[in-house]
Amino acid sequence: MRTERASELDLIRRCRGGSTDAWRAFVRRFSPLVYRVSYRMLRSREEAEDASQEAFLRIYRSFDSFDATRPPEPWLSRIAYNVCLKRIARRAGDPAAPSALDEELLPDTGSISPERAARGREAGEALESAMEQLSAQDRTILSLRYKEGLSIADVSEATGIPPGTVKVRVFRAKAKLRNHMGDLFDEVEA
CA 30, 34, 39, 45 dihedral sign is negative
Domain contains 7: yes
User: Residue 129: which CATH number?
Assistant: 1.10.10.10
Q: In this structure, are 10 and 81 located in the same domain?
A: yes
Task: Show which of 98, 122, 146 is a domain's final residue.
Answer: 98
Task: Show which of 73, 98, 123 is a domain's final residue.
Answer: 98
Give the domain range for residue 84.
Answer: 1-98
User: Residue 15: which CATH number?
Assistant: 1.10.1740.10
Against a cut of 0.85, is the pTM above it? no
Q: How many domains, the chain?
A: 2
Task: Show which of 98, 131, 156 is a domain's final residue.
Answer: 98
Q: What tens digit of pLDDT does each residue of 106-142 get?
A: 334 344 556 665 666 666 677 777 788 888 888 889 8
CA–CA dist 169, 171 (Å, integer): 5
Phi, psi for 135 (deg, rounded to 5)? -70, 160
Q: In this structure, are 3 and 94 located in the same domain?
A: yes
Longest dimension (CA), the chain: 59
Q: What tens digit of pLDDT does each residue of 42-74 get?
A: 989 999 999 999 999 999 988 888 888 888 999
Report the 10 Å Cβ neighbour count for 118.
12
